[in-house]
Amino acid sequence: MRFLIIGGSDAGISAALRARELAPDVEVTVVLADDFPNFSICGLPFFLSGETPDWHKLAHRTEFSGIELLRSHTATHIAVDDQTVEAADRAGTTKRLKYDRLLIATGAIPAMPPIEGLNLEGVYALHTMEDGFRIQPHLDRGVRSVVIIGSGYIGLEMADALVHRGINVTLVGRSQAVLPTVDWEFGKLIEGRLAEHGVEVRSDSVATGIERSGVGLVVHTSSESRANADLILVAAGVLPNSRLASDAGVELGCRSSIRVNRRMETSQVNVFAAGDCAETWHRVLEKNTYLPLGTTSHKQGRIAGENAVGGARQFAGSLGTQVVKVFDLAIGRTGLRDHEALEAGFSPCTVLATGFDHKAYYPGAKEIQTKITGDQRTGRLLGAQMIGNWQASIAKRIDIFAAALFHGMGVEDLNDLDLSYTPPLGSPWDVVQAAAQSWTNSGCRVFSTSTPR
Amino acid sequence: MRFLIIGGSDAGISAALRARELAPDVEVTVVLADDFPNFSICGLPFFLSGETPDWHKLAHRTEFSGIELLRSHTATHIAVDDQTVEAADRAGTTKRLKYDRLLIATGAIPAMPPIEGLNLEGVYALHTMEDGFRIQPHLDRGVRSVVIIGSGYIGLEMADALVHRGINVTLVGRSQAVLPTVDWEFGKLIEGRLAEHGVEVRSDSVATGIERSGVGLVVHTSSESRANADLILVAAGVLPNSRLASDAGVELGCRSSIRVNRRMETSQVNVFAAGDCAETWHRVLEKNTYLPLGTTSHKQGRIAGENAVGGARQFAGSLGTQVVKVFDLAIGRTGLRDHEALEAGFSPCTVLATGFDHKAYYPGAKEIQTKITGDQRTGRLLGAQMIGNWQASIAKRIDIFAAALFHGMGVEDLNDLDLSYTPPLGSPWDVVQAAAQSWTNSGCRVFSTSTPR
């Protein structure tokens, strides 16, 4: 049996590895458009900052034994009827590849704003290793100022990275505050930290055009007349790269991503999809969404790989868990925010709680702000957001919330979790639980002693 | 209604606060033997090290409004028939206190080894604030060497604390390696770190007697002839302080701790018990154990307080989750270790996995060693242990395992958790999940594609 995989990033390689683990006799081939199988593109900001000078280190792994890698080949056509894929190398020479099971893991492409000037020299998206290789020498030629269009997590990481290099940064974002995946107040805290590091933040501002001006570039924005720069980075989100699939008659779903069931099967027999090109089952919303994240790609790929070789495993679902480090801050979220929960038909109530990462009497305690969202009808935990120092275990505390959400726990039930404690690393009630108690005591939900638990 | 609580530490005060929250009309009185309600005795090592110079800061809280605190009173007798408690102040004057609901939260007492010399001047246990106040001035009088008897977490924290003060430490422990609550290999790693800091470790060694020798003290041990010291600390575990309860006809259970059901009710009507004097329901073993921990005391106290004023909440159970910091190491555990699981009738398999706290390409990555124990019959997660740098989020990663254990997850199911990721703070598969994959791929359990998940 031949298991063919289009795409050599997280989902594709995870699928290949899992198939190889479970079914050593299956022939596994990965068609990848570049020469960088399973590289950590999330690491590009650190390559560009100079913190990770050797790009080879960005490889999640370098060992692919038993997996055939067809490098620098782009899949150009899928024929589901005769189960073949056409792939072309960079010279345009094509091959036809037969499959018994196919995984489409073509990822995403950068979403470019509908403005003039995107094709000017010095304007870049940052999505692939090759994007990184184009930007780095340009930065090395003495770039002094950069405008970043987009204030999501990649925009923020790049702002941090460029400041690390001593470059002046202007960050233009359309949302009310940076990092629109968390609540506005947290975004404003991040903006404060950006400003302390000299980043000029223009939130609530849309880039309306780019033009060359002398030796530099100018970005016109809706809020300010212009922002000058030697280089412009566009980090305005991504779109699913689903064209190849749809041309082959594979049904699309949310935001034109490939429709999949929880086994990662598409509408076409023997054709799976996973990663940033595909829909994502949301465990709290209990429906498919488009929520491209590297962690999800790994999971979906692993499940697709398992099922392609005879498994019947379901994707357990995403909670949209994310974390980002910006200077000395870490900001994380999981589950639904208040307005998202409301849209989904819950009766959310959200409370802000502050606490310390460990007992304040032990030196070095750091404040953490937690927003916790629960459903007032059922008491169920719906989501959490946290912000604090990056060494305050924000990421792993968000993961405690994520584990609780995964199991549909009630907010109050978080107090039942037997979490670890020692004064230098926590509190008898961890901030996760203290936030839950704040929620319970806030009047979000009336406690009823008449209900046995 | 009067809710009377004997004991003003974690369990007693948590109960008082919870009762106050839920039933403002109930009269809540706490009888406490000293003047330190809800102080963090876990913080004593940091007070003695000088890291927390002001002992007042050890108070978990200082606000007890609506709660009557009867300080420096020791309960001497409980009469369950007429629902009264007799309490004596330090002058011996007694009062009789009526109760409608009683909570016994008398905590634990230090376990003293059966040896001569414990009553010599300069020999201390470390269990109460007052112990701390006796030891501190003695240390300040220029103590140069200390022998610690007991190499559990308090012994280790005190070794760290005394080294911090420049004192020579000898650590005598009866177990094969220090910290017998984790596996031997981890204990040996800790011993290595202790030795680097000049601590003389004598494991597999029993203190057989203490005597005065000139101006100093001598500890005789089974392994070495003697260890000299200016001061001796006994940190050899604790025993439940259950005498008052048993004298009142309250039934005892495991290791003479007070028998309770999961509502924290004792054998006597209207009498609850919680904290280090009481039994602890173990969520994996599904039976009562004696497992005194501050986190559990807080939880049990909160539940007892809720139930005393009319609630019907059950204690969800302990997993024995613990963490300790020793120099730059953090060591955590949750659930069962291999031999504990075997004794309990499981078919355990345990795997050691190593990984990094975050992507190795980002500066500062720290290695974490994880031991993961699963049941080979069912695939269920049974427990985990971790060791690594104290800033590698060991404590909160153990908590992810604890949350998974709480819900009876399978080892393989850990891969379904949607955990956070950014290169400076984690990996697409967190070390928690990578350890789970190591377990699955180790041959611990044969994967079966025929079982739908």
Residue of B nearest to A327 (CA): B424
Residues of B in contact with A322 (CB under 8 A): 420-422
Nearest-neighbour CA in chain A from B328: distance (Å): 11
Is residue A196 over pLDDT 50?
yes
Distances (CA, A) of A13 to A20, A61, B171, B401: 10, 10, 50, 27
- What is the C-alpha to C-alpha distance for residues B254 and B235, in angstroms, rounded to an integer? 21
Region label for B66, one of left (φ > 0), alpha (ψ between -120 and 50) or beta (otherwise): left
- Residue B224 is predicted with a pLDDT of 67
Q: DSSP letters of A388-411?
A: EETTS-HHHHHHHHHHHHHTT-BT
Using a CB–CB cutoff of 8 Å, tell me whether B76 touches chain A: no
- Residue B225 is predicted with a pLDDT of 72
Nearest to B395 among A22, A302, A425 (CB): A425
- What is the C-alpha to C-alpha distance for residues A154 and A148, in angstroms, rounded to an integer? 10
B220 CB-side CA count, 13 A: 10
Residue of B nearest to A314 (CA): B453
- Residue B122 is predicted with a pLDDT of 96
Compute the radius of gyration of chain B from its Cα atoms. 23
* B162-190 residue pLDDT tens: 999 999 999 999 999 999 999 999 999 99
Of B10, B107, B324, B327, whose CA–CA distance to A421 is shortest?
B324
Tell me what ipTM this predicted complex has. Answer: 0.96
Query: Region A9-32: what's the mean pLDDT?
Result: 97
% residues pLDDT > 70 (chain A): 98
- What is the C-alpha to C-alpha distance for residues A186 and A385, in angstroms, rounded to an integer? 9
| Residue B191 main-chain phi, psi, to 5 deg | -60, -40
Mean of all residue pLDDT scores within chain A: 95
Residues of A in contact with B415 (CB under 8 A): 299, 302
Is residue A54 over pLDDT 60?
yes
Q: DSSP letters of B31-58?
A: E-SSS-TTB-GGGHHHHHHTSS--GGGG
For tokens 């006994």, the residue is B234
- What is the C-alpha to C-alpha distance for residues A191 and A155, in angstroms, rounded to an integer? 12
Nearest-neighbour CA in chain B from A17: distance (Å): 12
Residues 353-382, chain A, touching B (beta carbon < 8 A): 359-363
Nearest to A449 among B43, B298, B310 (CB): B310
- Under a CB-based contact definition with an 8 Å cutoff, are residues A123 and A258 in contact? no
* A388-400 residue pLDDT tens: 999 999 999 999 9
Using a CB–CB cutoff of 8 Å, tell me whether A309 touches chain B: yes
Q: In what order do the strands lie in the sheet with B101-104?
A: B67-70, B27-31, B2-6, B101-104, B271-273
Contact B323 A426 (CB under 8 A): yes
Confidence tier at A312 by pLDDT (50, 70, 90): very high
Contact A319 B425 (CB under 8 A): no
| 3-class DSSP state of A33 | coil
Is residue A449 over pLDDT 80?
no
Low-confidence stretches of chain B (pLDDT < 50) are 446-453
Cα torsion through B274, B276, B281, B284, rounded to 10: 150
Residues B234-261, buried b or exposed e (16+ Cβ, 10 A)? bbbebbbbbebbeebebebbbebbbbbe
- What is the C-alpha to C-alpha distance for residues B383 and A420, in angstroms, rounded to an integer? 13
Is residue A309 over pLDDT 50?
yes
- Residue A452 is predicted with a pLDDT of 41
| 3-class DSSP state of B375 | strand
Q: DSSP letters of B286-313?
A: TEEE----HHHHHHHHHHHHHHHTT--P
Contact B312 A363 (CB under 8 A): no
Distances (CA, A) of A80 to A1, A68, A268, A269, A412: 16, 22, 7, 8, 51
B245 CB-side CA count, 13 A: 35
Residue of B nearest to A440 (CA): B21
Using a CB–CB cutoff of 8 Å, tell me whether B391 touches chain A: yes
Q: DSSP letters of A216-275?
A: EEEEEESSSS-EEESEEEE---EEE--HHHHHTTPPB-GGGPBP--TT-B-SSTTEEE-S
**What does the block give as tokens for B445?**
């359990």
Find the length of chain A: 453
